[in-house]
Amino acid sequence: MNQATTPRQLDTRGLMCPEPVMLLHNAVRDIAAGDLLEVLATDPSTQRDIPRFCSFLGHELLEQNEQDGLFRYLIRKQG
């Protein structure tokens, strides 16, 4: 299995629910199992939606943090 060590980035800043999760769903489809995806968002609802998305689909949420209204998530695709 070839795992990317540098995360691919998905920038959803300025987008509101449900767009960040819809784009996340598409981005996850485009990466290989085990690869990393970093998501940047400004919508506070992503604090609820992205962990649920990962849990429901079995992806690993490695990091979740917020600084000055910017939410950052690091996800490893299941596989």
What's the CATH code of the domain at 32? 3.30.110.40
Strand-pair partners of 64: 73
* Strand 70-76 relative to strand 60-67, pairing: antiparallel
- Does residue 14 contact residue 42 with C-beta atoms inside 8 Å? yes
Q: What is the pLDDT of residues 8-33, one digit of tens each?
A: 999 999 999 999 999 999 999 999 99
- Rounded to the nearest 10°, the torsion over CA 71, 74, 56, 28 is 110
Average confidence score pLDDT of the chain: 95
Catalytic amino acids? Answer: 17
Q: Number of folded domains in the chain?
A: 1
Residue 2 lies in a domain: no
- Does residue 12 contact residue 41 with C-beta atoms inside 8 Å? yes
- The residue range of the domain holding 57 is 9-76
Q: How far apart are CA 70 and CA 30, in angstroms?
A: 24
